[in-house]
Amino acid sequence: MTERLLDDFFTTPKPVKTKQTESSSSPKKKEPLETRHAAFQSVAPKELPTSYFVSATYDGRKASACIKLYEPESQKIYFWYDTTGHKPYCLTNLPPSELKKISRLTSHPGFDHFEPVEKYDPLFDRQITITKIVAKDPSSIGGPFRGHIRDIIPDEYPKIAGLEQEVKVWEAAIKYYQSYIYDRDLAPGMIYKIENNKLIRVKHEPSEKMIRKIHKIFQDEPKESQQYIERWARLLEYPAPKFRRLALDIEVSSPIPTRVPDPAEAAYQVVCVSLIGSDGKKRVLLLKREGIEEGDEKLPSDVSVEYFDSEKKLLLAIFEAISEYPFVLTFNGDDFDFPYLTKRAQNLGLSIDKNPIEVRRGRRTCLLKNGVHIDLYKFFFNRSIQIYAFGRRYTDMTLGDVGKALLGITKLELAKPLSELTYTKLARYCLRDSEITLKLTTFDDDLVMKLILALTRISSMPMEDVSRQGVSRWIRNFLHHEHRRQNTLIPNAEDILASKGATVTKAVIKGKKYKGAIVVDPVPGVHFNVKVMDFASLYPSIIKVHNLGYQSIRCPHKECVDNKVPETPHWICTKRKALESLLIGSLRDLRVKWYKPRSKDKSLPREVRSWYNVIQSALKVILNASYGVFGAATFDLYCPPVAEATAAIGRHAITETIKKAQGLGIEIIYGDTDSIFLKGVSQDQIDALVKWSEKELGMRLEVDKVYRYAVFSSRKKNYLGVFLDGNVEVKGLTGKKRHIPLFIKKAFEQMEKRLSQVKSPAEFEETKREIKKIVRDRHSRLKRREWGDRPDKLAFHVVLGKPISHYKKTTPQHVKAAKELKKRGYELKAGDLISFVKVMKEPHVKPLQLASNSEIDVGKYVSYLQSTFDQVLDALGLDFNEIIGLTKLERFM
């Protein structure tokens, strides 16, 4: 592949061929596209050039599926309505002859017709003939209440026929537009065009070239796996467009500054709105109010400030602005900005037809009929995204914290209640929030937009849904898609559970369903020259190599029962591959052997690497959850034995590896789940172990990290490692946990700094002396009560895990502090961070806001300092009490 080709590939995606080339290649005159940005007329013309499939919905008025296409040249969204006559349906085991007897069914206004269909039944490994019940609209199949077609069948049939046959209904809870996507094998996030009113997938030659290259890399894989790898690669190779978007934030005046106005009432004025576009447009719309001064500060010159003498006009201007952008970004717009705006518009008597945007309110969402609304709060709140895509860099799910952590931009402080601010102060405050919101999607080359797009492609979901829902939905949907593609019946959760049963192993932790991973007891002390080896995505590898899936575990074949999972009575199918194994396995292969290495390959152009990096982190997020979902009862393909078998094989893999390593004369000083820590190991020993693992376990074992030295106490999941370059990695030690007082954390950081300089065992003595000094110093500062004018640095910061009233069994300290704050009018909810200090008087805690220096219980802080440092001092052979000058006798007094 030449540089030039790569350039082609990434700068201007130029699709060249279409899948179905029914039309002649003679140049066709294209109708000029509407260039004015307005959402009113966005029904796609009969011919539409290459556009991105960004979303899908069901249109009730047209009674058909509707696809939202983003055309990157005009930067507009167009609608395409289904032309194939596809209809909603569910499946049942009753034949049409029996179904006809159910009059409530045949007389249901939404009922259309019956159709016998052949499907593969994955639980019993056989072909079956069942009945498709086709409806006129999705809500006739099922909905939030009973009385729909899917309920009528099991409710009515037994009355008619007795109970001799079990009545089953399948696939009745799948969203209609998802069903449409699966049945037509559409690819959300990919490029399509409209020709003669038909939706046609567009092929892209540079991607095809890459796919040929990928073929070569994976040529030794089984044919079946290669097909999956190719299909994924086809989705993931094609680059992302520029998304034209608008960030929006509103401010509402409220008589009580500590209380967030309720959008269900929308009782107060919308006083300010900031709108920042990806095109560089920055606007602030302000409501003129009595007694508010302009203020003397200046706003940046590129900001257009507009005053409105009526709130109605202000709202109309907002709606107008929103309608000009295909993508709209908010931070919590689902639960605040949009519900507030729409309710407020209603309160002010703005009629719907005057409102140029149509907001569709769901139970917990607000979607735009003509555009795509992405609520970044939901996206960043997603735990998998937080941990695996952003490496836990932010902890608080607030705009302020996420912005600070990822962008280094902080929210502006409010000196006065919002309603009393000058216009410019208010404008600046509001503007900053929109700025952070937009930048959260532009930093690192539009990383977040690309990530959402990549996940859209993997999961076959609309962008709105993928950015709001969790990883288990993403995984479920690509599995569902594959079921439909293979004409395999999607089983009901209760049938999977009934035929595969529950778990058999005993968890270490009370209340857990099955036994999980192994943690090896660490060898305490300081160890020089430590190499850490691990299995490249252990659990996905196991799922792949051992053919795990709900249909293959405890399969119905007698011949397979000898293919046992270690430590369990479970067996795995030897005759047929499970869908999960193929899909998850191929994603793993692509990440490990293609996207991860290429994201680091400096010989590739920056944009290419950046895109590959997006893909590899999207895959990481999905792969990391791909085992856990099978053990989660809320997952639609929940199958506890699959999760249990995966963990059991993992335990087997690591214990066998440790045995082998010891056989090779290697000293193992620690291990956790998929990793082993080897001391003073030779390259030959490593090579031997890698080779053994490949041959005996079928899994790639690799050196992940090399430490100059590592420090272990006797505690598991607690260590400190110093890399060859002097960087320090701290795992699990109290000294780096986020809730501990800064006063203690600072001392710990000083110690880290010292440890990073140690190059050899001989240098340790000097460092030990300095560490002693750090501890002594902190201790005496505590004793002398030197920590500043206020006890800020002594505050613990603990998250309120649930609403205060839900703590019934015990009252932890942070809840005591929270209750105290609540008494004083603070509004506290689950997820809020409580800061408190330890004081002498009952109940020994006080919220930081109410505490003063004189009441601090120094003794408590000394013990906390001790327990924090003990985790390292143990290993260095030092004793806290000795350091602070207590004699052995004094310690007993």
Partner DNA sequence: GCGGACTGCTTACCT
Partner DNA sequence: ACAGGTAAGCAGTCCGCG
Q: Which of residues 816-835 bind DNA (CB under 7 A)?
A: 816
CB of 313 to DNA, least distance (A): 38
Span 334-393, contacts to DNA by CB under 7 A: 381-384, 387, 392
Binder among 288, 606, 802, 829 for DNA (CB under 7 A): 802
Looking only at residues 453 through 472 of this chain, which bind DNA when binding is defined by CB under 7 A? Answer: 469-472
**347 or 867: CB nearest DNA:** 867
640-663 and 538-545 helices, crossing angle to 10°: 110
- Please report, for residues 152, 537, 586, 589, 649, the alpha-carbon distance to residue 545 in angstroms, rounded to integers and kept in the order given: 43, 12, 11, 11, 11
Which C-beta is closer to DNA: that of 238 or that of 514?
A: 514
Q: In whole angstroms, what is the distance from residue 578 CA to residue 486 CA?
A: 12
For position 752 contacting DNA by CB under 7 A, the verdict is: no
Which listed range, 257-265, 269-277, 787-795, 838-846, lies at the site for DNA (CB under 7 A)? 838-846
Rounded least distance, CB 821 to DNA, Å: 15
∠ CA 288-276-463, nearest 5°, is: 125
H-assigned helices in 324-361? 338-347
Interface residue with DNA among 800, 839, 856, 876 (CB under 7 A) is 800
545-572 per-residue burial string, b: 16 or more CB within 10 A, e: under 16: bbbbbbbbbbbeeeebeebebebbebbb
Nearest residue to 658 via CA among 682, 695, 689: 689
Closest CB to DNA among 404 and 716? 716
For residues 868 and 748, what is the distance between their CA atoms, to the nearest angstrom? Answer: 8
> Is residue 711 a contact point for DNA (CB under 7 A)?
no
User: Minimum distance from CB of 145 to DNA (Å)?
Assistant: 18
Which residue from 441, 365, 367 is spatially nearest to 407, judged by alpha carbons? 441
Tokens 């010292």 sit at which residue? 754
Between CA 382 and CA 389 the distance in angstroms is: 10
Give me 751's structure tokens: 């110690």
Query: Residue count at the site for DNA (CB under 7 A)?
Result: 76
Query: For DNA, which is the closer residue by CB, 120 or 826?
Result: 826
Stretch that binds DNA, among 75-83, 253-261, 402-410, 811-819 (CB under 7 A): 811-819
Smallest distance from the beta carbon of 581 to DNA, in angstroms? 17
Interface with DNA in residues 847-886 (CB under 7 A): 860, 863-864, 867, 871
Q: How far is the CB of 829 from DNA (least distance, A)?
A: 12
Nearest to 617 by CA among 473, 480, 471: 471
Stretch near DNA under the rule CB under 7 A, chosen from 264-272, 582-590, 836-844, 880-888: 836-844
Q: For residue 437, what are its two tokens?
A: 């919101």
Task: Please select the residue that binds DNA; options are 175, 439, 793, 844, rule is CB under 7 A.
Answer: 844
Structure-token match 């004083």, residue found: 824
Check the CA dihedral 867-868-870-875 and report its sign.
positive
One-letter amino acid at 829 equals K
**Minimum CB distance to DNA smaller for 116 or for 801:** 801
Q: Which residue, 89 or 880, is less far from DNA as judged by CB?
A: 880
- Which of residues 279 and 729 has its CB atom nearest to DNA in the complex? 729
Nearer to DNA, 108 or 588 (CB): 588
CA distance 722 to 725: 8
Q: Of the candidates 161, 317, 405, 799, which one interacts with DNA according to CB under 7 A?
A: 799
Nearer to DNA, 439 or 816 (CB): 816
- Minimum CB distance to DNA smaller for 274 or for 616: 616
The piece of 138-146, 163-171, 799-807, 878-886 that touches DNA (CB under 7 A) is 799-807
Least Å from the CB of residue 720 to DNA = 10
User: Which residue's CB is nearer to DNA, number 110 or number 524?
Assistant: 524
Taking CB under 7 A as the rule, does residue 673 contact DNA? Answer: yes
C-alpha torsion sign, points 190, 193, 199, 203: negative
Choice between 323 and 460, CB closer to DNA: 460
Residues in region 181-210 near DNA by CB under 7 A: none
Sheet holding 126-135, edge to edge: 111-121, 126-135, 89-92, 169-170
Shortest Å distance, C-beta 475 to DNA: 8
Beta bridge mates, 678? 531, 668
Residue list 486-525, contact with DNA (CB under 7 A): 507-510, 512-517, 519
Return the number of the residue (22 or 842) whose C-beta is nearest DNA: 842
In the bound state with DNA, the residue whose beta carbon lies nearer, of 111 and 627, is: 627
807 binds DNA (CB under 7 A): yes
Q: Which residue's CB is nearer to DNA, number 423 or number 748?
A: 748
**Cβ at position 806, least distance to DNA in Å:** 7
Q: Which of 809, 823, 824, 841 binds DNA (CB under 7 A)?
A: 809
Rg (CA), the chain: 31
Kindly give the residue spans of alpha helices, DSSP state H, lying in 564-639. 579-590, 596-600, 606-625
Cα–Cα distances in Å, from 470 out to 385, 466, 621?
9, 8, 11
Both tokens of residue 728? 């320090």
Q: Which of residues 614-653 bind DNA (CB under 7 A)?
A: 624-625, 627-629, 631-635, 643, 647
Binding segment for DNA (CB under 7 A), chosen from 60-68, 250-258, 454-462, 808-816, is 808-816
Nearest Cα to 90, choosing from 513, 684, 577, 490? Answer: 490
* Distance of alpha carbon 307 from the chain centroid: 40
Contacts with DNA in 717-746 (CB under 7 A)? Answer: 717-718, 730-732, 734, 736-739
Nearer to DNA, 79 or 627 (CB): 627
Residue 784 to residue 450: CA distance in whole angstroms: 54
**DSSP E strand boundaries for 604-718:** 667-672, 675-679, 701-712
Shortest separation between residue 756's beta carbon and DNA, angstroms: 17
**Single-letter amino acid, residue 512:** K
HSE-up of residue 187 (Cα within 13 Å, Cβ side): 20
Which H or E run contains 776? Answer: helix 764-783
Buried b (16+ CB within 10 A) or exposed e, 794-828: bbbbbebeeebeebeeeeebbbbbbbbbeeeeeeb
Chain residues 389-408 in contact with DNA, contact rule CB under 7 A: 392, 395
281 binds DNA, rule: CB under 7 A: no
Residue 215 vs 736, nearer CB to DNA: 736
How far apart are CB 579 and DNA at their closest, in Å? Answer: 18
Dist CA 444 CA 448 (whole Å): 8
Residues 532-551 within binding reach of DNA (CB under 7 A): 534
487 phi, psi to nearest 5 deg:
55, 40
Residue 540 CB coordination number (10 Å) = 29
Q: Which range, of 140-148, 243-251, 456-464, 800-808, touches DNA by CB under 7 A?
A: 800-808
Kindly tell me which residue out of 531, 546, 577, 838 binds DNA, with binding defined by CB under 7 A.
Answer: 838
Candidates 64, 477, 541, 675; binder of DNA (CB under 7 A) is 675
In single-letter form, the type of residue at position 416 comes to K
- Nearer Cβ to DNA, position 393 or 600? 393
Q: Residue 689 and residue 695: Cα distance in Å, rounded?
A: 10
Are residues 235 and 229 in contact, defined by beta-carbon separation less than 8 angstroms? Answer: no
